[in-house]
Every structure is written in structure tokens, then in C-alpha cells.
């Protein structure tokens, strides 16, 4: 089971790289990207996941613009070569690690295609390891890093074309791997003693000369079990980035949030984020939603194209919907990213806030598994 990567001195276990160190069926390794215009005109999301113990690789590309979201999905049997990042017409090319990547979706039967290049404007940001046990069973155990950058290229969908210009299209690359729930739920055994619960916020924001990083996972009492906050230097020229890690990154002591929810939803109407530095200084960021992207467009909680589900040797599909016709309280519509206009003092930035809230979260008036804010 050797692969090209086995020719590099990168082994972490006695096994070949293609063989996971864990036998869990929920092992995964994922690329994820977003991109959005500086005025909130459009947003696109990209994902590719490898599930080595399920022998599946899947991907998605989705764009929201003019009140409509269009999505491409594909899945195949995974090869045993980890460097093979192609699913049908979709592929990711690593032009220069940690600097430049290219995402290509060739023209296909769905009418959705793209040729996009991501160029970094920051070093990579490593989040803390995220480990969650539910009733003593590991539900998630993952490592994640993010990187901020600009996009250039083109997108085609529904007979329309869109030029992606780096001067006004920002985004984030997200790489994560480890264990998390994917594919069909496990069956058998005693039923759980309580309903599942998750509260997650993730907000990468671009400013003129730096980026801010915010994330939190909290239990139903609002107690964080994982948080990240950072201020990250940004560079106009990727070659000026000092290395894989930037010694200028300022790691925060803690983060806080104050959300106002749109009534009848679990989606922010406005938000205030706070980052507390080691020097005791507090940075307050106000967020104003401009556009909403349904994460199901790239497989998250999708009822048919969820991650790690066997669809056959090779399968692909496209779909579209009008955003204002969706039921905001349907379970597959809870996981969203909103493009946000950000303000901090007299500074103005652009970014996103990802939101996922299932289960009770009384702090914001949500007392049932899936009741809306009021």
C-alpha cells in the first residue's frame, strides 16, 4: 500500500502514509475553502474530503449570487494514492505548499465549472486540537489550520460567467484531519441518554494589514470546550510571508461573543466578537451580515450528498435553489456561513461567520433541540 508520499521523510507511524493510524470508520482528511467579494455580491465554497477507512473521496463546489445558490457534488471510490486529489472533473493542485493552490472544475453536465487560484496573504494559523467526547466516546478529534488569501480566476454556472479578481475577492483555506462524524450514522448498541448538542462559531476576518481569527465550541451551558483567537499579520506579496509559521501572530487569551438572532431562525442578525490579548487589551469587532451561504451546498448536513456516503464508483450531480424559499429551521439549513462587513473602531474589514447550533443553548433563548430564536 505504498504511495508517492512514502518517498518523503514524513511518517508518523510504522505504517505507510496511505494507511490510517486509526481504524475508526470516521477518519477523514479535508480541504476546504471559501471566497467572497469585498461587497458581499457573491460567495463560493469548495470542499474535498478523503475518508480512507471508507474508501471514499468526495467534493463539492457551490456559489451563491443574486438570491440563488448553485451546487456541484461528486463522489468516487478513493484510490490508495493520497496525492490523487481528483474526483471526476474536479481537482485540487498544490502549486506551492502553504502559498498557492489551484482548484479546477472542468465543464461538465451540471453546467457548473471554475478555474481558481488561491494565493496566501498570511502564514498558516494552527488551531488547537479539537477533541470532543460524548458519553466517553470520541465524537471528534481533529487538527485544523487556516490560511487567509485572495482568489483569481473564473466561475461559470447556469449559463453565466463570473470573473474573480484578486483585488476584491478574499477567502480562507482550511485544512483539517483526524476523526469526526461522517457517512451513515453507526447503528446498534444502547441509545444515547440525551439529545445531541453543538454550538460552533468560526469567524476569519480580513483587514487592510492583518487578519483576525475567532472560533469557539461551547456546551449547552455556554461553557467553551475549545476556543481560538489570533491576530495575524498580512502581506501583499506571498513571498514576504516569513515561513510556514509567522512569529508575529498574536495568540489571544480568550474570545467572547454577543449575538442577536433573526427571529424565527438560528442565524445571526448581528454579532459582536471580542478578543482579549495577553496584555489585557480587548479588541471588539462588530459584524453586519451581507449574504448567507448554505453549507449543504458542499455536503455539510446534506440529506443526499453528505460527506463520506457511498455513491458508487463515480457519481456527480448539480442542484440549485432560490435562497428565500428555504425553510430556515429545516435541519439541513442550520449550518451556514454569512459574509460579514466587519468594523473595529474606524477600521472596516470583510470576512465570514460560520454558525452551527443544534440542541439547547439557553443563553440565546433556545431551549429545545431545534426551536428558533424569538
Query: What pLDDT, in 10s, does the model give residues 239-271?
Result: 999 999 999 999 999 999 999 999 999 999 999
Question: Please, which residues have CB within 8 angstroms of residue 173's CB and are 6 or more apart in sequence?
Answer: 31, 32, 33, 101, 118, 120, 146, 147, 148, 149
CA–CA dist 359, 337 (Å, integer): 19
Q: Is residue 6 part of a domain?
A: no
Place of cell 458519553: 135
* Maximum Cα interatomic distance, the chain, rounded to a whole number of Å: 57
Q: Is residue 134 part of a domain?
A: yes
139-195 tens-digit pLDDT: 999 999 999 999 999 999 999 999 999 999 999 999 999 999 999 888 888 888 888
Structural element, H or E, at residue 275: strand 268-276
Length of the chain: 374
Does residue 202 contact residue 93 with C-beta atoms inside 8 Å? no
Domain that holds residue 67: 27-184+193-364
pLDDT at 72: 98
281-331 tens-digit pLDDT: 999 999 999 999 999 999 999 999 999 999 999 999 999 999 999 999 999
Give, as one character, the DSSP assignment of residue 330.
Answer: S
The strand pair at 68-77 and 86-87 is best described as unpaired
Question: Structurally, how many domains does the chain consist of?
Answer: 1
Q: Is residue 306 part of a domain?
A: yes
Pick from 328, 353, 315, 336: nearest CA to 109: 315
pLDDT at 33: 98
CA–CA dist 220, 105 (Å, integer): 40
Q: Is residue 354 part of a domain?
A: yes
User: Is the model's pLDDT at 81 over the cut of 80?
Assistant: yes
CATH number (domain holding residue 211): 2.40.370.10
Question: Please, which residues have CB within 8 angstroms of residue 372's CB and are 6 or more apart in sequence?
Answer: 261, 263, 264, 265, 266, 328, 329, 366
Question: Please, which residues have CB within 8 angstroms of residue 77's CB and are 6 or more apart in sequence?
Answer: 55, 56, 57, 313, 314
Does residue 241 contact residue 120 with C-beta atoms inside 8 Å? yes
Q: Is residue 373 part of a domain?
A: no
- Its pTM stands at 0.96
Question: Please, which residues have CB within 8 angstroms of residue 145's CB and are 6 or more apart in sequence?
Answer: 124, 125, 126, 127, 174, 175, 176
What cell does 161 get? Answer: 460567467
Q: Is residue 97 part of a domain?
A: yes
| Cβ atoms < 10 Å from Cβ of 94 | 13
pLDDT at 169: 98
pLDDT at 186: 80
pLDDT confidence bin for 276, thresholds 50/70/90? very high
Place of cell 471508507: 54
Residue 240 CA to its chain's centroid (Å): 26
Does residue 174 contact residue 128 with C-beta atoms inside 8 Å? no
pLDDT confidence bin for 77, thresholds 50/70/90? very high
Q: Is residue 21 part of a domain?
A: no
Q: Is residue 17 part of a domain?
A: no
Amino acid at each position: 500500500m505504498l504511495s508517492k508520499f512514502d518517498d518523503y521523510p514524513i511518517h508518523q507511524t510504522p505504517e505507510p502514509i496511505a494507511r490510517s493510524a486509526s481504524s475508526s470508520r470516521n477518519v477523514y482528511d479535508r480541504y476546504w475553502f471559501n471566497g467572497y467579494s469585498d461587497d458581499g455580491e457573491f460567495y463560493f465554497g469548495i470542499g474535498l474530503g478523503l475518508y480512507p477507512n471508507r474508501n471514499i473521496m468526495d467534493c463539492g463546489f457551490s456559489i451563491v449570487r443574486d438570491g440563488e445558490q448553485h451546487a456541484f457534488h461528486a463522489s468516487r471510490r478513493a484510490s490508495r494514492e493520497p496525492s490523487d486529489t481528483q474526483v471526476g472533473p474536479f481537482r485540487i493542485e498544490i502549486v506551492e505548499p502553504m502559498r498557492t493552490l489551484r482548484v479546477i472544475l472542468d465543464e461538465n453536465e451540471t453546467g457548473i465549472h471554475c478555474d481558481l487560484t488561491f494565493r496566501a496573504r498570511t502564514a498558516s494559523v494552527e488551531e488547537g486540537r479539537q477533541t470532543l467526547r460524548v458519553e466517553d466516546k470520541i465524537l471528534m478529534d481533529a487538527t485544523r489550520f487556516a490560511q487567509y488569501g485572495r482568489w483569481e480566476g473564473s466561475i461559470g454556472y447556469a449559463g453565466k460567467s463570473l470573473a474573480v479578481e484578486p483585488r476584491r475577492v478574499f477567502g480562507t483555506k482550511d485544512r483539517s484531519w483526524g476523526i469526526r462524524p461522517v457517512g451513515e450514522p453507526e447503528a446498534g448498541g444502547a441509545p444515547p441518554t440525551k439529545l445531541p448538542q453543538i454550538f460552533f462559531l468560526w469567524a476569519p476576518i480580513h483587514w487592510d494589514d492583518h487578519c483576525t481569527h475567532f472560533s469557539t465550541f461551547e456546551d449547552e451551558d455556554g461553557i467553551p470546550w475549545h476556543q481560538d483567537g489570533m491576530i495575524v499579520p498580512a502581506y501583499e506579496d506571498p513571498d514576504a510571508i516569513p515561513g510556514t509559521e509567522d512569529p508575529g501572530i498574536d495568540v489571544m487569551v480568550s474570545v467572547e461573543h454577543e449575538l442577536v438572532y433573526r427571529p424565527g431562525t438560528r442565524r445571526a442578525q448581528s454579532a459582536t466578537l471580542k478578543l482579549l490579548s495577553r496584555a489585557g487589551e480587548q479588541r471588539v469587532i462588530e459584524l453586519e451580515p451581507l449574504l448567507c451561504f448554505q453549507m449543504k451546498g458542499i455536503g455539510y448536513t446534506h440529506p443526499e450528498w453528505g460527506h463520506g456516503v457511498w455513491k458508487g464508483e463515480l457519481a456527480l450531480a448539480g442542484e440549485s435553489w432560490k435562497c428565500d424559499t428555504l425553510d430556515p429551521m429545516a435541519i439541513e439549513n442550520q449550518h451556514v456561513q454569512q459574509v460579514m462587513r466587519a468594523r473595529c473602531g474606524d477600521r472596516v474589514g470583510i470576512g465570514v461567520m460560520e454558525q452551527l447550533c443544534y440542541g439547547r443553548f439557553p443563553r440565546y433563548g433556545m431551549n429545545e433541540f431545534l426551536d428558533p430564536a424569538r
